[in-house]
């Protein structure tokens, strides 16, 4: 039937738009109670006293839990999952009187209704004693190498050739510092957990999760349970962008509350709590130095990143991974440092690391092109890397050239006046800018169970997640394709830790991982049926089952990365072109047009893929122009911890978006030929817009977001200098 590559409408679309898709907070086990949290207000110190009587006396309150009466959990050591920081210890909620950051949960109220729980939580009073900690001011003088020496992905130092020497001796040089603020996932669905213990002491969790197996493993160890005593259910996730990768403290607290109340308890976080209870993209300061020959050949790239982490966990990310591989440059050097603050731990957010690093690198590349008087696209093509010089391996596939060409053509790049501040539309300054996008293609072991029925239907099951990209749909297509069945006859089930093991739904690797497991499982199913006694050559497996009078046939399938990781370098690529309109009087920026072309390997569903890409573009408009968690470095709090003041693009901020997937397949990387298309879609958008703003105005603003105040101040500085 060839279901792969078809623009199939989301199989879960009707359930989602009619409200029958059930998200974590929407399950209603019988006799459920509700929990609300109380938060500490100082950034570091100790709880001296805590008074719960007033809350306890509210009618409908079942219990108030603090560190004084919380059950002592075993907290068995957890092997750091790939989504956890390699060093440090996760927050143990209600475990002791120690306060590590402002907003840390210090009490939990359980009540008959959500409203009662929240109202009673407001009546819990407490006093705290401040103590010295890591501090609240992001100061690069306090930077240190990441303490986790085991992760090769973010080395403290890395170098090819003599980067400083090449920089010093090159005829053309630029350098600059770039700032990306603290960014929050702000998915539509708030995090929520419902916990229920049964009479045998088994725990069921309905949780918002990108990795149900990981939540099961962590909760199993926190509570000292056996693996089969915890089940995590998460059939629908209303966006996550990385915020639901880890098992956060509220999950443990929900399970704790349900044990104390002896009934199911729901703990749903408020929007404000999402700024402290889960992670965020860390504030990151970067210095970039580029050097080139007179003819426009890059000779040296030196990039230093200072990332924010908490005082209790060492969160690092691959900010500098693209530096050594994105361009063909003989020498390159990266330095990665962390700055600890008394704050909650950062976590991956869509395109963690690469989005941050590429923002600085692609703005710097643009500045270098300008310094060379070269077209920014021509400059990038001149330094095109045909091989991954960092790993010293060939790419398993790379269609970036075709991304550049396709996007430039569709955008109309040739209409760009190379001079800055030269294009106008009435009073508006018009700018064209572009940037490269890159994201590592990854695959992890995954498994599935497939049952084919003689009535011509099939059910595929795995513990994977679908946070919105359309996993239900695209996996249904892979199975339908490989079983030669209509898409309507295949059902895909996911989001349950009792199903066959699946890896984290992150890193844009679900299709490469689970998709290849589905394909492998389908092949095994067909092979096994073809080997049944009485099977005939060339007949469809459904015909075999019918003829042999078997109701159904089931197999387990699995896939894992092949040996190509050692012989090839695999990345998804993209090129993003942006048009901006800047009001020179008000400093406001609009983005009338974005065009992105992507090399993501085989596209299983062009419709959901386009949705991914334009979603990333919208998020990129937010990153470029609006989003920032404003940190108060006296109180240690994010001041705009709500969706009224943390601005994200709304419909009126978004105009024309065009996403194209160039012809590409990567059969070296995996049998399906897919590379992953989620995170690549955010990468490159912010620098493309910032480069367009420079082209429109002549102002090089190296701090995100490009808000009107920054533009006006830069304009004023440019006039007076
Ligand atoms: Mo993604 S940041 O791995 O959800």
Residue 670 confidence (pLDDT) above 80: yes
Cβ contact 486:612 at 8 Å? no
Q: Give the pLDDT score at 151.
A: 66
* Residue 321 lies inside a defined structural domain of this protein: no
* Residue 508 lies inside a defined structural domain of this protein: yes
Nearest C-alpha neighbor of 4 from the set 382, 458, 497, 479: 479
The minimum-distance atom of ligand 1 relative to the CA of 506 is 3
Cβ contact 584:715 at 8 Å? yes
Lowest mean pLDDT among 75-89, 119-133, 301-315: 75-89
CA–CA separation, 207 and 121 (whole Å): 22
Residue 103 DSSP label: T
Residue 311 confidence (pLDDT) above 90: yes
Nearest C-alpha neighbor of 154 from the set 290, 341, 336, 403: 336
Count of domains forming the chain: 2
Average pLDDT over residues 42-55: 98
Residue 96 banded pLDDT, cuts 50, 70, 90: very high
Residue 80 confidence (pLDDT) above 80: no
Return the CATH number at 535: 3.30.365.10
Average pLDDT over residues 449-465: 98
Q: For the segment 364-376, what is each residue's pLDDT rounded down to a tens digit?
A: 999 999 999 999 9
Average pLDDT over residues 388-394: 96
CA–CA separation, 405 and 660 (whole Å): 11
Per the structure, the complete domain to which residue 112 belongs is given by: 32-132+188-239+244-277
Residue 345 Cα to ligand 1 midpoint, Å, equals 15
CA–CA separation, 624 and 639 (whole Å): 20
Residue 336 banded pLDDT, cuts 50, 70, 90: very high
* Residue 218 lies inside a defined structural domain of this protein: yes
Q: Give the pLDDT score at 39.
A: 98
Best residue among 211, 241, 441, 468 to mutate for probing ligand 1, ranked by most atoms within 8 Å of CB:
241
Residue 712 confidence (pLDDT) above 80: yes
* Residue 272 lies inside a defined structural domain of this protein: yes
Q: For the segment 575-584, what is each residue's pLDDT rounded down to a tens digit?
A: 999 999 999 9
Share of the chain above pLDDT 90, in %: 96
Q: Dihedral through CA 14, CA 18, CA 21, CA 23, nearest 10?
A: 140
- In order of 69, 70, 71, 91, 134, the CA distances from 96 in angstroms are 10, 9, 11, 10, 19
Residue 1 confidence (pLDDT) above 80: no
DSSP SS3 for 97: coil
Average pLDDT over residues 178-192: 98
CA–CA separation, 84 and 314 (whole Å): 9
Q: Check 268, 367, 679, 715 and give the catalytic one.
A: 679
Residue 539 confidence (pLDDT) above 90: yes
* Residue 323 lies inside a defined structural domain of this protein: no
Question: Looking at ligand 1, which residue's alpha carbon is closest to its atom 4?
Answer: 242
Strand positions, DSSP E, 293-416: 298-310, 313-314, 331-341, 387-388, 393-394
Q: Ligand 1 pocket: which residues have CB below 6 Å?
A: 210, 241-242, 245, 348-350, 352, 506-507
Question: Looking at ligand 1, which residue's alpha carbon is closest to its atom 3?
Answer: 506
Residue 283 DSSP label: P
Q: Give the pLDDT score at 423.
A: 98
| Of the residues 560, 585, 612, the one at which a domain ends | 560
Q: Give the pLDDT score at 360.
A: 98
* Residue 227 lies inside a defined structural domain of this protein: yes
Cβ neighbours of residue 271 under 8 Å, at least 6 residues apart? 190, 641, 642, 643
Tell me the range of 70-79, 111-120, 559-568 where mean pLDDT is highest: 111-120
* Residue 329 lies inside a defined structural domain of this protein: no
| Of the residues 560, 577, 602, the one at which a domain ends | 560
Half-sphere exposure of 537 (CA within 13 A, CB side): 0
Residue 278 banded pLDDT, cuts 50, 70, 90: very high
Nearest C-alpha neighbor of 636 from the set 121, 94, 104, 127: 104
* Residue 697 lies inside a defined structural domain of this protein: no
Residue 223 Cα to ligand 1 midpoint, Å, equals 27
Share of the chain above pLDDT 70, in %: 99
CA–CA separation, 328 and 332 (whole Å): 10
Residue with tokens 């890409």: 613
Average pLDDT over residues 392-416: 98
The mean of the pLDDT values for the chain is: 97
CA 238: distance to chain centroid? 14
Average pLDDT over residues 519-546: 97
Q: For the segment 542-565, what is each residue's pLDDT rounded down to a tens digit?
A: 999 999 999 999 999 999 999 887
| Of the residues 560, 586, 618, the one at which a domain ends | 560
Q: Decide if 340 is catalytic.
A: no
User: Which residues partner with 26 through β-bridges?
Assistant: none
Q: For the segment 598-629, what is each residue's pLDDT rounded down to a tens digit?
A: 999 999 999 999 999 999 999 999 999 999 99
Residue 703 DSSP label: B
């Amino acid at each position: 039937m060839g279901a792969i590559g078809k623009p199939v409408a989301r199989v879960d679309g009707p359930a989602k738009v009619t409200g029958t898709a059930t998200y974590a907070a929407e399950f209603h086990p019988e006799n459920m109670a509700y929990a609300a949290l109380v938060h500490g207000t100082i950034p570091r110190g100790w709880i001296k006293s805590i008074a719960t009587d007033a809350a306890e006396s509210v009618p409908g309150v079942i219990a108030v839990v603090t560190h004084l009466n919380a059950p002592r959990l075993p907290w068995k050591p957890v092997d750091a999952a790939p989504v956890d920081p390699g060093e440090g210890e996760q927050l143990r909620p209600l475990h002791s009187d120690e306060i590590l950051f402002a907003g840390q949960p210090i009490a939990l109220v359980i009540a008959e209704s959500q409203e009662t729980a929240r109202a009673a939580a407001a009546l819990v009073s407490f006093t705290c004693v401040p103590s010295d900690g890591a501090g609240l001011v992001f100061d690069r003088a306090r930077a240190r190498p990441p303490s986790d020496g085991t992760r090769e992905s973010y080395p403290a130092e890395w170098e090819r050739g003599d980067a400083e020497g090449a920089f010093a001796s090159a005829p053309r040089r630029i350098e600059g510092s770039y700032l990306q603020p603290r960014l929050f996932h702000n998915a539509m669905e708030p995090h929520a957990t419902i916990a229920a213990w049964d009479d045998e002491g088994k725990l069921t969790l309905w949780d918002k999760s990108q990795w149900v197996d990981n939540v099961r493993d962590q909760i199993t160890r926190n509570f000292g349970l056996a693996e089969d005593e915890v089940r995590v259910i998460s059939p629908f996730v209303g966006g996550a962008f990385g915020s639901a990768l880890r098992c956060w403290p509220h999950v443990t607290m929900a399970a704790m509350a349900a044990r104390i109340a002896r009934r199911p308890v729901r703990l749903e976080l408020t929007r404000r709590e999402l700024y402290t209870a889960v992670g965020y993209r860390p504030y990151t300061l970067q210095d970039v130095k580029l050097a080139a020959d007179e003819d426009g050949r890059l000779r040296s790239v030196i990039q230093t990143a200072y990332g924010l982490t908490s005082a209790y966990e060492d969160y690092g990310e691959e900010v500098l991974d693209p530096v050594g591989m994105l361009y063909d440059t003989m020498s390159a050097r990266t330095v990665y440092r962390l700055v600890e603050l008394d704050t909650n731990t950062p976590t991956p957010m869509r395109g963690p690391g690469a989005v941050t690093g590429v923002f600085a690198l692609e703005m710097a590349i643009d500045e270098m092109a300008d310094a060379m008087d070269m077209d920014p696209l021509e400059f990038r093509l001149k330094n095109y890397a045909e091989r991954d010089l960092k790993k010293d391996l060939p790419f398993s596939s790379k269609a970036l050239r075709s991304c550049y060409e396709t996007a430039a053509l569709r955008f109309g790049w040739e209409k760009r006046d190379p001079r800055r501040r030269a294009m106008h539309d009435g009073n508006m300054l018009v700018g064209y800018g572009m940037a490269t996008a890159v994201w590592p293609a990854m695959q992890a072991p995954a498994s599935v169970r497939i049952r084919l029925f003689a009535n011509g239907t099939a059910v595929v099951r795995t513990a994977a997640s679908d946070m919105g990209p359309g996993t239900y749909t695209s996996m249904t297509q892979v199975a339908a394709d490989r079983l030669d069945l209509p898409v309507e006859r295949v059902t895909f089930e996911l989001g349950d830790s009792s199903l066959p093991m699946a890896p984290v739904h992150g890193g844009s690797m679900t299709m490469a991982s689970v998709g290849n497991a589905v394909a492998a499982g389908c092949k095994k199913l067909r092979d096994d049926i073809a080997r049944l006694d009485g099977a005939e050559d060339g007949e469809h497996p459904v015909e075999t089952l019918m003829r042999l009078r078997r109701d159904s046939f089931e197999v387990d399938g699995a896939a894992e990365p092949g040996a190509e990781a050692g012989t090839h370098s695999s990345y998804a690529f993209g090129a993003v072109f942006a048009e901006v309109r800047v009001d020179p009087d008000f400093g406001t920026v609009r983005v009338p047009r974005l065009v992105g072309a992507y090399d993501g390997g085989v596209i299983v569903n062009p419709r959901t893929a386009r949705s991914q890409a334009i979603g990333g573009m919208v998020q990129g408009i937010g990153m470029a122009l609006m989003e920032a968690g404003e940190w108060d470095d006296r109180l240690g709090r994010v001041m705009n911890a709500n969706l009224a003041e943390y601005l994200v693009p709304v419909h009126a901020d978004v105009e024309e978006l065009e996403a194209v997937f160039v012809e590409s397949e990567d059969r070296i990387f995996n049998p399906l030929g897919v590379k992953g298309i989620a995170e690549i879609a955010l990468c490159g958008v912010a620098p493309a817009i910032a480069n367009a703003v420079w082209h429109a105005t002549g102002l090089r603003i190296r701090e995100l977001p490009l808000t009107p105040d920054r533009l006006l101040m830069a304009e004023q500085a440019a006039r007076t200098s």
